[in-house]
Structure 1
Amino acid sequence: MPKVGNYVQRDYHNTFKSRKKNTWSDYNDSWNKRRAKAAQKSEQLRTTAFSFIMSSAQAGQAKTMYLLQNAGGTQQYASTTAVMNRVNILA
């Protein structure tokens, strides 16, 4: 409501009210828009979460490979297949 001075100007007359009547199609359209925005936002969140998880997994694999390569003679594995199985646990 518009404020004039210290008083709020109330609309007591039908002359100034909106002439458009709300219909069910208006209601449905507004909810469809809201659902579409929510779906878009959840898709963005899903994409962000996926990229975060993949980068974390890749960092973990790189760290494991680095540790395995630099283990030297202290730690021996039966074969390269066993090493790769340990690296690709998250993949």
Structure 2
Amino acid sequence: MNGKCHLHALYNPISSSYIFIKTIKSTMNNNQSASYQAGQAKGQAEEKGGQLMDKASNAAQSAQESAQQAGQQMKAGAQGAVDAAKDATGMNK
């Protein structure tokens, strides 16, 4: 064997290119996978945030309704007290 053949056996540009391309494809697949997983995590976080906002909105609505009911009960109680006072003093005739 001469030196050229021996050098050719050590360095094969075709197999080196193949390894390089496989490495690039592997890196691209890893990047795509990481990007997909990041997208999934973002979507899940947005969904969770939406659910929390819905719960907060429902709690606020419930609190508002409870406050309105309490106010109506207080108003009715006060009106009853006024009517009772008028009846007691004879002003309701």
TM category (shorter chain) comes to: 0.5 to 0.7
Which protein is richer in strand relative to its size?
A: 1
- Which blocks of at least 5 consecutive residues in structure 2 are unaligned? 1-5, 66-93
- The answer to whether 1:56 aligns with 2:45 is yes
Other-structure match for 1:41: 30
TM-score scaled by length of structure 2: 0.55
Q: Which amino acid aligns with 1:29?
A: Y
Structure with larger RCO (C-alpha < 8 A, sep 6+): 1
- The answer to whether 1:23 aligns with 2:12 is yes
* Runs of 4 or more consecutive aligned structure 1 residues displaced over 6 Å after TM superposition: none
Higher alpha-carbon Rg = 2
What is the CA–CA distance in structure 1 between the aligned matches of 2:13 and 2:28, rounded to whole Å? 22
What is the CA–CA distance in structure 2 between the aligned matches of 1:58 and 1:33, rounded to whole Å? 37
Q: Which amino acid aligns with 2:40?
A: S
SS in 2 for 1:52: helix
Shift of 1:35: 0.3
Instruction: Give percent identity, aligned residues only.
Output: 7
Which protein is richer in helix relative to its size?
A: 2
Shift of 1:21: 3.6
What is the CA–CA distance in structure 1 between the aligned matches of 2:16 and 2:37, rounded to whole Å? 32
Paired residues, what number?
58
Over aligned residue pairs, what C-alpha RMSD do you find?
2.3
- CA offsets, 1:21-69, max 9 Å, x none? 4222122111001001101110110111011000000000000011101
TM-score scaled by length of structure 1: 0.56
- Which blocks of at least 5 consecutive residues in structure 1 are unaligned? 1-16, 75-91
